[in-house]
Amino acid sequence: MSIIRNTKADIAAIYERNADTLFRLALSYLQCSADAQDAVQDVFALYLKKTKEFTDTSHEKAWFVRVTVNRCLDLLRRKKVRNYIPIDEIAETIAQPTDEKAALAAEVNEYLAKIPEKNRAAVVLHYLEGYSVEETAEMLGISESAVKMRLSRGREALKSAMEKGKL
Amino acid sequence: MFDSEQTDAFRSISAPMELKEKVLALEQKKPHNNRRIILSISSAAACLLLVAAIPLLSRLPQKNPAFTVNGTAIGSDALLLNENNSGIMAASARTVQKYMAEISAEFPENTVITVSDGSLELTDTDTNEFISGGAECTAKGNITIRWIVDLPTENTQYYLTTDTDGKKKTFEMYYESASGAWYIMQTTDK
């Protein structure tokens, strides 16, 4: 069984495996590219400080996701955040952006901002990042039934937000 | 929930290049283990001096643990935890109602935490990982302490003691039945 340790080669590999997911997750909470970058950077700083070792990449991703969510919730408690991301700011995070794609991505983040913070990570991981309920439960450190409950509440919040958006 | 276009658009967002540079730069700042030790007379002498100084260094004042509730430090004045019986944990008809107090602590060294009543649940404040539970626990670092006691019916005092390398602190949590308020304060510091 190979252990993933935090040597320089591992950091780069861990970053490549996880950074995009963590950044998108942080963006859904903080609605600001600079703040999301800071949050992800803080998480990696914590990883280096804790000299954490992982048994496999699933274990690794679960740790990073959980700590990123905690960090975002901590930042949200400390500062007021806006509830949308400007389209031009989102466009800077997309490779080969088109006006349509940037607008859609901004719209998705705006909807995510309407979902209660407690339910948001489950919605992002399952519906947008494509993880199964089981994988989402493992990453968030909760039961599968708890994930389903959060997804259900997230859907309700999202449905309400989308219906208001159509008016 | 989201259609494929929305999902694709969301997934097209990627972490900016400058973030990668910042993260990899973090690793550069981390002190590296020096695997090649070059011995010289002066280096050997420096090692001997350090070994001789260790008993003296251990007598230097250590950083004190910090205890806070919702960002407010716990001192010798009573700090209101909550009032009107808020914070009571949900319980079924067959179980005794319980109260949970949440305290943030920073322990620079390994610390033994014991309570006179109830039980503790300790988690890492940064990662939310469970560390330990029970009437006596040991922890180090940034810790969230959840202290769970049976809900009393009259004025009651509870005690939490921390022991960091022989240095003890005692905290008293008390319940005022008339108002349903809970308070906490530090009582002794030995």
CATH of the domain at A13: 1.10.1740
- Is A109 part of any domain? no
Same domain membership, residue A64 and residue A141: no
CATH assignment at residue A139: 1.10.10.10
Q: Which of B11, B20, B126 sits opposite A128 (nearest CB)?
A: B11
Give A17-74 pLDDT, tens digit per residue: 999 999 999 999 999 999 999 999 999 999 988 777 888 889 899 999 999 999 998 8
ipTM confidence? 0.88
- Separation CA A89–CA A33 (nearest Å): 7
Shortest CA gap B30–chain A (Å): 8
**pLDDT value, residue B126:** 79
The number of domains in chain A is 2
Instruction: Provide CATH code, domain B66-189.
Output: 2.60.40
Q: Domain ranges for chain B, please list them.
A: 4-57, 66-189
Q: Which of B10, B30, B126 sits opposite A128 (nearest CB)?
A: B10
- The mean-pLDDT minimum among A79-83, A96-100, A103-107, B93-97 falls in B93-97
Burial class (CB in 10 A: 0-12, 13-18, 19+), A154: buried
**pLDDT value, residue B71:** 73
**Which of helix, strand or coil describes residue B61?**
coil
- Is A159 part of any domain? yes
- Is A102 part of any domain? no
Same domain membership, residue A77 and residue A1: yes
- Is A96 part of any domain? no
CB B103 within 8 A of CB B121: no
- Separation CA A101–CA B177 (nearest Å): 60
Site from B8, B10, B140, B144 to mutate, A interface, most A CB atoms within 10 angstroms: B10
Give the domain-ending residue among A59, A82, A105.
Answer: A82
Same domain membership, residue A50 and residue A3: yes
Give the domain-ending residue among A63, A82, A101.
Answer: A82
> B79-83 long-range CB contacts below 8 Å, 24 or more apart?
B79/B183, B79/B184, B79/B185, B80/B181, B80/B182, B80/B183, B81/B173, B81/B181, B81/B182, B81/B183, B81/B184, B82/B181, B82/B182, B83/B179, B83/B180, B83/B181, B83/B182
CB A21 within 8 A of CB A130: no
B6 Cβ contact partners less than 8 Å away, ≥ 6 residues apart: A104, A107, A108
Same domain membership, residue A62 and residue A127: no
User: Residue A167 above 50 pLDDT?
Assistant: no
Give B102-117 pLDDT, tens digit per residue: 888 988 889 999 999 8
Please report the sign of the dihedral spanned by the C-alpha atoms of residue B101, residue B142, residue A125, residue B18: positive
- Is A126 part of any domain? yes
**Residue whose pair of structure tokens reads 């389903």 in the numeric block:** A148
- Is A100 part of any domain? no
Q: Which residues pair with B104 in a beta bridge?
A: B68, B144
Which residues on chain A are in Cβ contact (under 8 Å) with B8?
Answer: 101
Same domain membership, residue A78 and residue A123: no
> B170-179 long-range CB contacts below 8 Å, 24 or more apart?
B171/B67, B171/B74, B173/B81, B173/B101, B173/B147, B173/B149, B174/B78, B175/B99, B177/B152, B177/B153, B179/B83, B179/B84
Which residues on chain B are in Cβ contact (under 8 Å) with A8?
Answer: 24, 27
- The mean-pLDDT minimum among A9-23, A95-109, B60-74, B130-144 falls in B60-74
Give the domain-ending residue among A82, A103, A136.
Answer: A82
Q: Which domain holds residue A57?
A: 1-82
User: Residue B30 above 60 pLDDT?
Assistant: no
CB B27 within 8 A of CB A46: no
Same domain membership, residue A75 and residue A122: no
Residue type, B109: E
- Is A20 part of any domain? yes
Nearest C-alpha neighbor of A165 from the set A107, A82, A101, A104: A107
- Separation CA B173–CA B156 (nearest Å): 8
